[in-house]
Amino acid sequence: MNGPIVDILREVKDPEIPMIDVVELGIVRDVSVDGDTVRVDITPTYSGCPAMQVIERDIVSVLRAKGYDNVQVNTIFSPAWTTDWLSEETRQKFRDYGIAPPTGASRAEGGIAELVSLRRARPTIECPFCRSANTVEKSEFGSTACKSIHFCNSCHQPFDHFKAF
């Protein structure tokens, strides 16, 4: 990937988790320059993530601001985005922001018979505020597609978890 352009793209944050930029989130998959055209390949997190359209617009506008007028943003689907790509440094940013970073298996494990068995493996999610493991899942679905809702029994704080996906 083209280093100077990647550095510019680090200015683009995910609007729903504004402490994380789109490069460290793994949305930017490739950057190439051909003549005066900059091509940026991005991959969606979830199929219906409404942040993707904003991110696409922001990528074009930060590059324009630096003098790159011809920007082509392509959406690619393979390999499918996964939270496994997040570094430890990025995970710490989630905690600092009050969101538990992805915990547990992101990969498809087991077939459909296991999914419908009601025996769901629930990983222990550590509270981002007090680091207690004494937490409980309140809902697998949260304020955005990428988050679930939990409660810490130790410090009595509700918190979001960025789901392993």
Partner 1 sequence: MTDNLFQYLLRLGDDRLVLGHRLSEWCGHGPILEEDIALANIALDLIGQATLYLKLAGEIEGKGRSEDALAYFRDAIDYRNVQLVELPHGDYAVTMVRQFFFDVFSYHVLEQLQSSTHSEIAGIAAKGFKEVRYHVRHSSEWVVRMGDGTEESHRRAQKAVNDLWRFTGEMFQADDVDRAMLSEGIGADLDAIKPKWNEIVSDVLNRATLVIPNDPPAMTGGRRGRHTEYLGHMLSEMQIVARSHPGAAW
Specify the pairing of strand 70-75 against strand 37-42: parallel
User: At closest approach, how far in Å is the CB of 106 from partner 1?
Assistant: 9
DSSP annotation of 127: P
List, in order, residues 6 or more apart from 104 with CB less than 8 Å away.
Answer: 121, 123, 164
CB atoms within 10 A of CB 47: 8
Using the minimum distance from each CB to partner 1, give the nearer residue, 94 or 163. Answer: 163
Asked if residue 76 binds partner 1 (CB under 8 A), the reply is yes
User: At closest approach, how far in Å is the CB of 80 from partner 1?
Assistant: 5
- Residue span binding partner 1 (CB under 8 A) among the ranges 27-35, 58-66, 91-99, 110-118: 110-118
Q: Which of 92, 140, 153, 158 is the binder for partner 1 (CB under 8 A)?
A: 140
DSSP-based three-state secondary structure for 21: strand
- Does residue 35 contact residue 46 with C-beta atoms inside 8 Å? no
Interface residues with partner 1 (CB under 8 A) are 44, 46-50, 76-78, 80-81, 108, 112-113, 115-116, 118, 120, 138-145, 149, 165
